[in-house]
Amino acid sequence: MKILFLTLALLATTAQAADIKESLSSPDGKLEASFTLTEGVPQYSLKHCSKDVILPSLLGFELRGNLKAENLIYEGDKVRKEDWNSCYSFAENFEFLGCERSSFDETWEPVWGEEDHIRNNYNELLVHLKQKDTYRLLDIRFRLFDDGLGFRYEFPANQWLGYFVIKEELSEFALAQDCTAWWIPGDYDTQEYEFTCCKVSEIKEHFRDNMRGNSSQTPFSTSGVQTALQLKTPDGLYINIHEAALVNYPCMHLLADCEKHSFRAWLTPDAQGWKGYMQTPCNTPWRTVQVAESAEKQLASRMILNLNEPCAYEDVSWIHPVKYMGVWWEMIAGAGSWNYTDAAPIRLGEFDYSKATPNGRHSANNERVRYYIDFAAEHGFDALLIEGWNEGWEDWANCNKDYVFDFVTPYPDFDIKALNDYAHSKGIKLMMHHETSSSVRNYERHMQAAYQLMSDYGYDSVKSGYVGDILPHGEYHYSQWLVNHYLYAVTEAAKYHIMVNAHEAVRPTGLCRTYPNLIGNESAMGTEYQAFGGIKPGHTAILPFTRLNGGPMDYTPGIFENNLKDWCGNNSWVNTTLCNQLGLYLVMYSPLQMAADTPEHYLEHMDAFQFIKDVAIDWSESRYLFAEPQDYVIVARKAKESGQWFLGGVTDEKAREFKIPLDFLGKGKYIATVYADAPDAHYKNNPKAYTIKKVKVTAKSKLPIRMAEGGGFAVSFELCK
Ligand code: NOJ
Ligand code: CA
């Protein structure tokens, strides 16, 4: 043994002098990534058309000292025991053991998506490294696509590194230029923020002290940002930094070095402050740098999905897109309540439901649910979500109650069997709601029974939620343990053929390719904030670049009534025009699409509601026609089943005009039904002013469209026979 170590040590000394550089080109030759090893320090860089995009940036880790006997460090013939409480750098003193190159080109078919075929084409470089004094191995795999770079760390199994703990990942993203950045502040617990736009060099100045997380004692609290981070160089190149395939690892945030316009990884810690618990062989998620010559190309990039593993399920016949309504907005807006016991004078301790006298505010009651079922079924929806159906709402969110919900006991005025029978008799399904109140162990305790109950009553989709601080205390929503929990919930659900839409879970990283029953996530500021003070216009023109880069969002569009005050005394105003809400069905891609307002509000605008009924939710083709982050997005999509084209767009607080070439249409004449803001529409004072016109068009036509301030539009096309 000893002789072998000496030989390795000698080899290491010989290799040290040489600097290594290995480069890789994208299939179209426009991108070039390089790996370098300079005096033992690994780095990477990225160029687009020979121009620097990412300057040499550090790769590596800070690891916690190891306890295990197999991880002892040998210095010559002496054994040095590592101190479990100290850390060491796994970012230096490496030697190059060699590298491997390969290319890949395939086209795969997603179960649902923005298109029915996705090309996955890249060149790959796999670098093998060994840390000279610890003999520990590190592989770094680079994949270079036409639309960007992905790299990940791989830790081969070897006797020197078995179990280990990550103190921090040191990956850097040193931008070559000071870019414009669209960002939300770093937070270990929520992504529900509006976006700030400023130069990277100015992030610190603009850093609003509005973090709701618990990381105030760290540099993260003044310059941490979340991914996906959208950037634009002064010469108009679009760069996006995110991660792909986040599995068994903490969520990556970025710490900005404003002076150097550079970022470095900052992983979400666990309750003890450590970040990742690993066992070789293992790997990190992919770190991604997408590069696009236009905003529209950035939106069309499928690199994040491509970096995820193929579908893990053999049978996917039970997974399908869902258009749904919900007994929901009336609670969010404050017109109703989740809580059956709202009327009860005493709500402390265990509640005796037999003594409760609901005051009529409990929305999920048999009569109200039947009314929604009737409306949703009559208008062709697939499902109806019902929140507040089960015991536990009296003690939820931040009451620190461990055993809060059991997910199987309905409130006395919710007849689960009768309502499911009624819904099924009308051809729709009920959608389950599992608000966990972030008592995560409690959810895992009850999960099998909860899914079994769904299966027994014929529910095939669940919306889950993680509101409030995580229980057990001290854990964060985005730590490794929680990341594992969210995926566990999805893979367990698959065993019962259940589709999952998780709100407040970690933001998606393309895992829906591998686990397509993950049909939605919220994990960003969604429509609910229109009832919590309002959302600034422009939010839905930045989400497609950022939050949606990793997967679809359950944004819950379709709010037709802006005036919440007159409706239910809520002072919030919905900051969009009605046509903006229609445009969202195209702009906010999701195979799970809600019509979020109440039947009463839709009944007042049945002509506009027709678009929500008509619009498809699964596509064979998508074309981003005009886009600029946080300003506007216009996209045309072709329905997978019918082949029908739809078009839609949204703008920020500025009114905008476009002449939209309809060259995506096939041969023939079409009737376009155009839902547009009226000339005097405005999100603030005249949001419900719209026109619906039918015009004859062909692929040669250019459709003039004006979107009002905070407005949008939607079009459906029908081929003339
Ligand atoms: C927050 C979710 O985003 C919202 O949709 C849900 O109604 C509430 N939590 C209650 O679970
Ligand atoms: Ca939420």
Find the angle CA(518)-CA(524)-CA(526) to the nearest 5 degrees. Answer: 95
Where are the domains positioned within the chain? 2-306, 525-549+563-591+618-721
Measuring CA to CA, how many Å separate 307 from each of 46, 115, 149, 242, 244?
18, 17, 10, 12, 6
How many whole angstroms separate alpha carbon 610 and alpha carbon 593? 15
Low-confidence stretches of the chain (pLDDT beneath 50): 1-18, 69, 213-214, 345-349
The answer to whether the CB of 388 is under 6 A from ligand 1 is no
Strand partners, 106: 120
Instruction: Give 126-166 pLDDT, tens digit per residue.
Output: 999 999 988 899 999 999 999 999 999 999 998 788 889 99
Which residue from 389, 395, 527, 528 has its CB within 8 A of the most atoms of ligand 1, so it is best to mutate? Answer: 528
The answer to whether the CB of 528 is under 6 A from ligand 1 is yes
Query: Residue 247, class by beta-carbon neighbours within 10 Å (0-12 exposed, 13-18 middle, 19+ buried)?
Result: middle
Atom of ligand 1 nearest to the CA of 332: 7
- pLDDT value for 6: 36
Which CATH number applies to 525-549+563-591+618-721: 1.10.300.10, 3.20.20.70, 3.60.10.10, 3.40.50.720?
Answer: 3.20.20.70
- pLDDT value for 347: 42
> Residue 486 carries which side chain, given as an amino acid letter?
Y
Active-site residue, from 528, 561, 628, 709: 528
Instruction: Specify whether 194 is catalytic.
Output: no
CA atoms within 13 A on the CB side of 288: 33
How many whole angstroms separate alpha carbon 402 and alpha carbon 396? 10
How many whole angstroms separate alpha carbon 709 and alpha carbon 328? 28
Domain 2-306 in this protein, CATH class:
mainly beta
Cα-to-centroid distance, 465 and ligand 1 (Å): 6
- pLDDT value for 73: 60
Task: Return the biggest CA–CA distance within the chain.
Answer: 86
How many whole angstroms separate alpha carbon 245 and alpha carbon 207? 29
Cα-to-centroid distance, 30 and ligand 1 (Å): 44
How many whole angstroms separate alpha carbon 397 and alpha carbon 368? 25
Cα-to-centroid distance, 698 and ligand 2 (Å): 42
How many whole angstroms separate alpha carbon 63 and alpha carbon 86? 9
Which residue from 329, 396, 463, 467 has its CB within 8 A of the most atoms of ligand 1, so it is best to mutate? Answer: 467
* CA-closest residue to ligand 1 atom 3: 503
How would you write 272-322 as a 3-class SS string?
Answer: CCCCEEEECCEECCEEEEEEECCHHHHHHCCHHHHCCCCCCCCCCCCCCCE
How many whole angstroms separate alpha carbon 272 and alpha carbon 375? 50
Query: Residue 3, class by beta-carbon neighbours within 10 Å (0-12 exposed, 13-18 middle, 19+ buried)?
Result: exposed
Atom of ligand 1 nearest to the CA of 331: 7
Measuring CA to CA, how many Å separate 584 from each of 532, 556, 647?
19, 9, 10
- pLDDT value for 208: 59
H/E stretch holding 431 reads strand 429-435
- pLDDT value for 721: 84
- pLDDT value for 10: 40
- pLDDT value for 74: 61
- pLDDT value for 220: 76
The answer to whether the CB of 330 is under 6 A from ligand 1 is no
The answer to whether the CB of 628 is under 6 A from ligand 1 is no
User: Which of 494, 364, 525, 488 is closest to 430 using CA atoms?
Assistant: 364
Find the angle CA(176)-CA(101)-CA(161) to the nearest 5 degrees. Answer: 85
pTM, full prediction:
0.94
